[in-house]
C-alpha cells in the first residue's frame, strides 16, 4: 500500500495520460490510457485515480495528466486494475484534507 501522493505520482507517472471517466459526489475518476506491465504478475494493468473536488466549478479535459492540471487536486484513491480479469487492488486511500 502506498503512503503518499508522491508515491502515487511515482507509480503512475506525472506525465502519464489519464482519461476522465465520470464525476460523482465531488469525486472525479480518471484512468490511465495506456496499460503497463505489472511487475508482480506479468499481466497488463491500468490505474484508476479518484480525486477530491471542492465546491468550485471545474472543467476537465477528456485527457489530462498530473503535470498539466490534476496535481492541484488531492488524490482520494488509486486502484490497479488487471486488464485480463478486471479485478482491482487498492494501492492508496486518503481522507479529505482540502485541495492545494
Residue 100 lies in a domain: no
Number of domains comprising the chain: 1
Residue 98 is assigned to a structural domain of this protein: no
- Whether the per-residue pLDDT at 83 is higher than 90: the answer is yes
Please check whether residue 65 is in contact with residue 16, taking contact to mean a CB–CB distance below 8 angstroms: yes
Q: For position 100, what pLDDT does the model report?
A: 61
Structural domain contains residue 42: yes
Domain that holds residue 40: 5-93
Whether 39 shows a pLDDT value over 80: the answer reads yes
pLDDT band with cut points at 50, 70 and 90 for residue 31: very high
pLDDT band at 35 (very low <50, low <70, confident <90, very high): very high
Q: Is residue 37 part of a domain?
A: yes
Average pLDDT over the chain, rounded to an integer: 89
Amino acid at each position: 500500500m502506498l503512503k503518499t501522493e508522491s508515491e502515487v505520482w511515482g507509480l503512475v507517472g506525472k506525465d502519464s495520460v489519464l482519461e476522465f471517466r465520470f464525476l460523482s459526489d465531488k469525486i472525479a475518476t480518471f484512468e490511465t490510457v495506456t496499460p503497463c506491465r505489472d511487475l508482480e504478475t506479468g499481466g497488463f494493468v491500468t490505474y484508476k485515480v479518484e480525486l477530491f473536488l471542492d465546491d468550485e466549478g471545474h472543467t476537465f479535459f477528456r485527457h489530462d495528466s498530473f503535470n498539466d492540471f490534476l496535481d492541484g487536486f488531492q488524490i482520494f484513491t488509486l486502484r490497479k486494475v488487471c486488464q485480463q480479469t478486471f479485478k482491482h487492488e487498492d494501492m492508496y486511500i486518503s481522507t479529505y484534507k482540502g485541495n492545494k
